[in-house]
Amino acid sequence: MYLCKLMKEEIQLLVDKGEMLPLMEEFYTIQGEGFHKGTAAYFVRIGGCDVGCHWCDVKESWNANLHPPTEISKIVNNAKKYSNTIVITGGEPLTWDMTALTTQLKAEGLQIHIETSGAYKLTGIWDWICLSPKKMKLPTAEVYDKAQELKMIIYNKDDFRFAEEQAAKVNKDCILYLQPEWSKREKVIPEIVEYVMKNPKWKVSLQTHKYLNIP
Ligand code: SF4
């Protein structure tokens, strides 16, 4: 009993340092969204998120305790077998310190992308940051400066206003995308199309993996 408690505490310490991470799933697929859509990539989905988007399509990721603490070296060894492009997603991966994971992936010469709401401190070494801000927990100043891509999810009309507010905060080279929330796509796609034609600094992003019926 005591040993078991000790082990749990040790594992929690390693998770807190980012040397183990609550791994929800990992899979080789095609990046469906944004700038890199169509690119084969190995996805690593890390559990844990308290941002609380009501339309979130991975609510199973929220509770980190449901996902086994996994050694970084195991994640890296799996990833490098499949692809040069690794996408770290969640959940909200920045819930955890990403330094150890990204350092090891970089040591293998891999390209590392992150999908993040930016709500927490930006840790890790990234080749591509896809920032998708959420109203409930806004991004940190650092992530606005470093993001290569801003992906705004459109669920209702107010999201266009929020998208503009967020676009005003990112760096000048950041590529701007509007993406329909999947369950509202029939209603919002025509609105997005009209908006992008009127405001061509934006591009349309679709969740093409869902149309392709792949993860
Ligand atoms: S930030 Fe992402 S994982 Fe977290 S609740 Fe929102 S959509 Fe879901």
- CATH number assigned to the domain comprising residue 142: 3.20.20.70
Cα 134 to averaged position of ligand 1 atoms, centre (Å)? 8
- 166 forms beta bridges with none
Along the chain (215 residues), what's the average pLDDT of each consecutive run of 10 residues? 80 96 98 98 98 96 97 97 97 98 98 98 98 97 98 98 98 98 97 98 97 94
Task: Give the count of alpha carbons within 13 A of 107, CB side only.
Answer: 10
Q: How many whole angstroms separate alpha carbon 132 and alpha carbon 47?
A: 17
Does 91 count as an annotated binding residue?
yes
Tokens of 207: 């969740």
53 lines ligand 1 (CB under 6 A): yes
Does 215 count as an annotated binding residue?
yes
Helix (H) or strand (E) holding 146: helix 141-146
45 lines ligand 1 (CB under 6 A): no
52 lines ligand 1 (CB under 6 A): yes
Position 5 in a domain: no
> Quick check: helix, strand or coil at residue 9?
helix
Percentages helix, strand, coil for the chain, rounded to the nearest 5?
35, 25, 40
Position 10 in a domain: no
Position 14 in a domain: no
Instruction: Among 56, 63, 130, 181, name the best residue to mutate to test ligand 1's pocket (greatest count of ligand atoms within 8 A of Cβ).
Output: 56
Predicted confidence at residue 6, as pLDDT, reads 73
Position 12 in a domain: no
- DSSP class per residue in 18-64: TSEEEEEEEEEEE--SSTTTT-EEEEEEE-------TT-S-GGGS-G
Position 7 in a domain: no
Calculate the alpha carbon distances from 215 to 82, 85, 208 in Å: 15, 16, 10
| Overall number of domains in the chain | 1
Q: Give how far the C-alpha of residue 143 lies from the chain's centroid of Cα atoms, to the nearest Å.
A: 13
Cα 151 to averaged position of ligand 1 atoms, centre (Å)? 13
Q: Which long-range contacts (CB under 8 A, 24 or more apart) does 183-188 make?
A: 183/55, 184/55, 184/154, 184/155, 184/156, 188/154, 188/155, 188/156
Position 73 in a domain: yes
Predicted confidence at residue 1, as pLDDT, reads 67
Q: What angle in degrees, to the nearest 10, is found between the helix axes of 72-80 and 99-107?
A: 40
Predicted confidence at residue 211, as pLDDT, reads 94
* CB 79 within 8 Å of CB 86: yes
Predicted confidence at residue 4, as pLDDT, reads 83
Predicted confidence at residue 81, as pLDDT, reads 97
Does 104 count as an annotated binding residue?
no
Cα 171 to averaged position of ligand 1 atoms, centre (Å)? 23
pTM beyond 0.95: the answer is: yes
Q: Which domain holds residue 85?
A: 20-211
Q: How many whole angstroms separate alpha carbon 129 and alpha carbon 115?
A: 7
Instruction: Among 33, 117, 136, 138, name the best residue to mutate to test ligand 1's pocket (greatest count of ligand atoms within 8 A of Cβ).
Output: 117
Position 127 in a domain: yes
Helix (H) or strand (E) holding 99: helix 99-107
Q: How many whole angstroms separate alpha carbon 19 and alpha carbon 129?
A: 21
Q: Which residue's C-alpha comes closest to atom 2 of ligand 1? A: 91
Q: In terms of DSSP bridges, do strands 20-30 and 175-180 run parallel, antiparallel, or are they unpaired? A: unpaired
Position 50 in a domain: yes
